[in-house]
């Protein structure tokens, strides 16, 4: 189980520079120091990763716990990186870069360098680049040398001076990173790689970005290019990120991966999110809010052109679902419900970004794999989605992937067919009649122009498949309320506790009307938690 407290919470400082009363004049005039110059290219970085993978792995040195004794959570959240030491804080750059300090949860220092004209210079790190609150009681004299644990990219030079916590991209913790969507809210995270995620008794591995290189941007450029070296016991890799600030955030990623050891589950373009409960999948008195989740479903666009929507579950035991494909066109974890009334909290779940992965080139055969882990709190990231190639990940093998990450409010290439909306689940049978204890009623909503223009006498048909059990009482109708929604209704009769895979789409004659709804029904949830859905 990976907690967002462990890997992500420290990326948001709650105290702005202005609130502390500092002005630029307070800080020393000295700027960020750089080391000696050496040649740099992405090709050379790839070669470096390849050569490193052929050698035994040596874990990077960590800062001693004793040196971080005074930097607890309350202190860390108030630490300010001095704007005068920000990277690209002068000149024509739109996006200044500041850095996170090491702390009790991120004890591994990360090297940082600047690239210009195919040459690089490493940043000389110092704890003196940070301003500590009064209750820090001084900094340990042992806290020397490299002290950066990650970085954040700010929106502009003005925010650097006034609101230094207003970043649009941050990298911190192993190979984790995240970005705001077009609604200006952080949410789910991405990773450079996933190694053996919930694979039987095999321990999951978390390779780390050990060194970043920042390419000096061109005048008024809306993008920033960042290179990274990833290293871990089983893998070494080179990455190139082109980070663009659009209405949301777009990231182009190229990576070359070299394996030191066999990997049972190699997760490409992994994303990590949180799904605790929805209105219809809520434990008794577990929380006062109607829903708590960063994402409510997995969307996929297959190589054959089918659009699929799979609502998420919070299962009672770890579940891994594989959706086989060949040359996928895209996939991602989405937050479809954008209504504040669905959440009612103050943390902006209705504004959490979608993250869509768009493969570049042909990825071949494999599967989009969805991992759902039980959780009883919103602090845990319990959902993982990733591409797992069919090709075995053997020691000595090489893998190259290119893809684009879209951090938006909706998937960038939505289906022209009717799209899935809410999923409801309740007791089977007819309203007012005695319920059938072995049946569950499903209501799946659809909405789209293709349904709006149907003639008055049209009779859409629901095409339903279940891996086991019996389907009865199927009907398709316009939902009441005048919202333009249609809904498919059916009962599933099933015995036993094994999961049931369901598949549904709408058609009229030979014409497909909707994207495909897929769901994993968990019968053992029928008691003591009788209702579930999204």
Residue-wise DSSP of 19-47: GGT--GGGS-S----EEEEEE--HHHHHH
475's tokens: 């009907």
- Confidence (pLDDT) at 91: 67
Over residues 432-442, the pLDDT tens digits come to 666 677 789 99
- Bridge partners of 508, per DSSP, are 511
- Confidence (pLDDT) at 218: 83
Asked whether residue 175 carries a pLDDT value surpassing 80, the answer given is: yes
More confident residue, 134 or 420: 420
* Percent of the chain predicted with pLDDT > 70: 89
Q: Strand, coil or helix: what is 277?
A: strand
Reported CATH class of domain 2-408: mainly beta
Give me the mean pLDDT over the 296-323 stretch: 96
Give me the mean pLDDT over the 264-286 stretch: 86
Instruction: With beta carbons less than 8 A apart as the criterion, state whether 424 and 446 touch.
Output: no
How many other β-carbons are positioned within 10 Å of the β-carbon of residue 346? 6
Q: Which of 64-78, 294-308, 364-378, 478-492 has the lowest mean pLDDT?
A: 64-78
Over residues 50-81, the pLDDT tens digits come to 999 999 999 999 999 888 887 877 888 888 89
Asked whether residue 525 carries a pLDDT value surpassing 90, the answer given is: no
Asked whether residue 96 carries a pLDDT value surpassing 70, the answer given is: yes
CA dihedral of 507, 511, 514, 520, whole degrees rounded to 10: 60
More confident residue, 6 or 504: 504
* The CATH number of domain 419-526 is 2.60.40.10: yes
More confident residue, 136 or 425: 425
Give me the mean pLDDT over the 366-392 stretch: 96
- Bridge partners of 511, per DSSP, are 508
476's tokens: 């398709």
Instruction: With beta carbons less than 8 A apart as the criterion, state whether 155 and 95 touch.
Output: yes
Asked whether residue 14 carries a pLDDT value surpassing 80, the answer given is: no
Q: Which of 67-76, 225-234, 253-262, 296-305 has the lowest mean pLDDT?
A: 67-76
- For the chain, the average pLDDT equals 88
Burial environment of residue 89 by CB neighbours within 10 A (0 to 12, 13 to 18, 19 or more): buried
Q: CA-CA distances (angstroms) from residue 340 to 98, 183, 299?
A: 33, 13, 22
d(CA 48, CA 231): 11
- Confidence (pLDDT) at 53: 98
CATH 2.60.40.10 domain locations along the chain: 419-526
Tell me which residue has tokens 């809210």: 185
Instruction: With beta carbons less than 8 A apart as the criterion, state whether 43 and 124 touch.
Output: no
* Percent of the chain predicted with pLDDT > 90: 71
d(CA 429, CA 488): 15
Strand segments, DSSP code E, in 79-216 are 80-81, 97-101, 111-116, 119-123, 130-131, 148-154, 167-172, 176-179, 189-191, 194-195, 208-215
Give me the mean pLDDT over the 398-416 stretch: 97
Nearest to 75 by CA among 28, 143, 27, 123: 143
Over residues 107-116, the pLDDT tens digits come to 999 999 999 9
| Residue ranges in 111-238 assigned as alpha helix (H) | 157-162
274's tokens: 């949180």
Nearest to 301 by CA among 230, 235, 356: 356
Give me the mean pLDDT over the 140-151 stretch: 88
d(CA 414, CA 110): 38
355's tokens: 């993250």
d(CA 252, CA 254): 7
């Amino acid at each position: 189980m990976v907690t967002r407290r462990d890997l992500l919470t420290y990326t948001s400082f709650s105290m702005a520079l202005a609130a502390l009363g500092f002005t630029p004049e307070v800080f020393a005039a000295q700027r960020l120091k750089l080391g000696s110059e050496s040649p740099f290219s992405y090709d050379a970085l790839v070669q470096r990763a390849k050569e490193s993978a052929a050698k035994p792995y040596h874990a990077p040195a960590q800062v001693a716990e004793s040196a971080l004794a005074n930097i607890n959570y309350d202190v860390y959240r108030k630490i300010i990186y001095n704007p005068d030491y920000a990277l690209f804080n002068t000149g024509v750059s739109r996006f200044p870069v500041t850095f996170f300090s090491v702390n009790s949860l991120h004890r591994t220092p990360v090297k940082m360098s600047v690239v210009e004209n195919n040459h690089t210079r490493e940043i000389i790190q110092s704890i003196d680049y940070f301003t500590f609150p009064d209750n820090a009681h001084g900094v340990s004299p042992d806290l020397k040398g490299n002290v950066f644990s990650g970085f954040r990219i700010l929106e502009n030079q003005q925010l650097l001076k006034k609101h230094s916590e207003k970043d649009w991209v941050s990298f911190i913790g192993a190979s984790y990173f995240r970005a705001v969507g077009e609604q200006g809210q952080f949410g789910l995270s991405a990773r450079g790689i996933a190694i053996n995620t919930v694979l039987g008794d095999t321990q999951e591995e978390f390779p780390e970005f050990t060194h970043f290189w920042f390419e000096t941007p061109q005048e008024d450029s809306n993008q920033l290019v960042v290179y990274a070296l990833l290293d871990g016991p089983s893998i070494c890799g080179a990455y190139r990120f082109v980070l663009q600030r659009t209405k949301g955030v777009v990231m182009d990623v190229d990576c070359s991966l070299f394996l030191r050891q066999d990997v049972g589950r190699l997760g490409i373009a992994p994303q990590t999110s949180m799904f605790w409960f929805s209105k219809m999948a809520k434990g008794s008195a577990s929380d006062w809010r109607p829903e708590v989740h960063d994402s409510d479903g997995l969307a996929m666009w297959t190589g054959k052109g089918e659009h699929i929507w799979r609502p998420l579950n919070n299962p009672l035991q770890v579940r891994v679902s594989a959706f086989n494909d060949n040359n996928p066109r895209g996939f991602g974890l989405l937050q479809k419900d954008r209504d504040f009334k669905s959440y009612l909290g103050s943390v902006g779940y209705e504004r959490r970004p979608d993250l869509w992965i768009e493969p570049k080139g042909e990825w071949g055969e494999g599967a989009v794999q969805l991992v759902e882990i039980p959780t009883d709190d919103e602090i845990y990231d319990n959902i993982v989605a990733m591409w797992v190639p069919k090709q075995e990940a053997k020691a000595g093998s090489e893998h190259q992937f290119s893809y684009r990450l879209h951090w938006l409010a909706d998937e960038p290439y939505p289906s022209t067919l009717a799209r899935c909306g809410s999923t409801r689940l309740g007791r089977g049978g007819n309203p007012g009649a005695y319920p059938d204890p072995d049946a569950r009623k499903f209501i799946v909503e659809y909405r789209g122009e293709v349904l709006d223009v149907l003639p008055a006498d049209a009779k859409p048909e629901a095409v339903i498949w279940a891996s086991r059990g019996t389907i009865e009482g199927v009907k398709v109708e316009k939902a009441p309320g005048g919202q333009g929604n249609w809904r498919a209704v059916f009962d599933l009769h099933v015995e036993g506790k094994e999961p049931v895979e369901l598949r549904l789409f709408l058609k009229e004659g030979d014409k497909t009307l909707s994207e495909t709804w897929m769901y994993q029904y968990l019968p053992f949830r029928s008691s003591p938690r009788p209702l579930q859905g999204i």
